[in-house]
């Protein structure tokens, strides 16, 4: 169990640029989640996958956000035409396919949009 | 669908007790509790299934009131290491998890 890995750890980008983050879950986990967290707030749900299927996407997520998990292993989260309001910590978590399975979080990618 | 946590913040002296509450407006499948220290990722503490009371971590226990759709986290004889922000995560219909805004706990010597 090597844990959930996220890359990069930090990303600074200019407004209007596109960014992509990667998450490698724990290998035997078939559920993968993306959350966004700003200072002093709880993780805000963005989307989740079961294997390669994206089962739910937050209504708060604009069309500029897209996520993929092409082979049911790693996942990418892309933000197009970044805005300053996108600045946050983006957390990835994985779990087994049971409602009583804990989420294992990665250390996150901190995005700063200037 | 986001659960509501209370209080927002708690300050304790070592050895004191605290209770953190989490409530939902929808029927829950399970409730998870996590602790996050500054600059780190949330770490799992325990899971409460319907009707379950479970002791899972150090001197921390929790309960789940299925009728009220509420869960409470009990921290007894608090230690300095308990400091951090506690989040409840609620699961509906065995699907995705939503987190509350968190309760910041500070334990002082």
Pairwise pLDDT comparison (A100 vs A92), residue with the higher score = A92
What pLDDT score was predicted for residue A62? 81
Residues A1-14: tens digit of each pLDDT: 579 999 999 999 99
Query: Mean pLDDT across the stretch B47-71?
Result: 79
| CB A46 within 8 Å of CB A26 | no
Which residues, 6 or more positions from B49, have their beta carbon under 8 angstroms from its beta carbon? A100, B29, B30, B64
> Does A35 sit within 8 Å of B96, measured CB to CB?
no
What pLDDT score was predicted for residue B56? 63
Query: Mean pLDDT across the stretch A74-93?
Result: 97
Shortest distance between the Cα of B49 and any Cα of chain A, in A, equals 7
Q: Which residues pair with B74 in a beta bridge?
A: B19, B61
**Alpha carbons B18 and B87: distance in angstroms, whole number:** 14
Question: Within an 8 Å CB–CB cutoff, is residue A41 touching chain B?
Answer: yes
Pairwise pLDDT comparison (A98 vs A23), residue with the higher score = A23
Query: Mean pLDDT across the stretch A69-76?
Result: 93
> Does A103 sit within 8 Å of B34, measured CB to CB?
yes
Residues A35-46: tens digit of each pLDDT: 999 998 999 999
Question: Within an 8 Å CB–CB cutoff, is residue B43 touching chain A?
Answer: yes
């Amino acid at each position: 169990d090597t844990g959930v890995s996220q890359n990069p750890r930090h990303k600074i980008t200019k407004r209007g640029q596109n960014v992509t983050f990667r998450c490698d879950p724990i290998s035997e986990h078939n559920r993968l989640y993306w959350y966004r967290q700003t200072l002093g707030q709880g993780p805000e749900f963005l989307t989740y996958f079961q294997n390669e299927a994206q089962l739910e996407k937050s209504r708060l997520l604009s069309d500029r956000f897209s996520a993929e998990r092409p082979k049911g292993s790693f996942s990418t989260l892309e933000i197009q035409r970044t805005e300053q309001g996108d600045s946050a910590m983006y957390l990835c978590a994985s779990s087994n396919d049971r409602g009583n399975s804990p989420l294992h979080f990665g250390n996150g990618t901190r995005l700063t949009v200037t | 669908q986001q659960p509501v946590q209370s209080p927002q913040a708690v300050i304790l002296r070592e050895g004191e007790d605290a209770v953190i509450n989490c409530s939902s407006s929808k029927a829950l499948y399970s409730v998870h509790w996590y602790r996050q220290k500054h600059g780190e990722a949330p770490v799992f503490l325990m899971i409460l299934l319907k009707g379950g009371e479970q002791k899972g971590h150090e001197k921390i226990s929790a309960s789940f009131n299925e009728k009220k759709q509420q869960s409470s986290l009990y921290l007894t004889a608090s230690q300095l290491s308990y400091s951090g922000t506690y989040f409840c995560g609620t699961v509906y219909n065995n699907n995705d998890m939503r987190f509350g805004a968190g309760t910041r706990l500070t334990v002082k010597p």
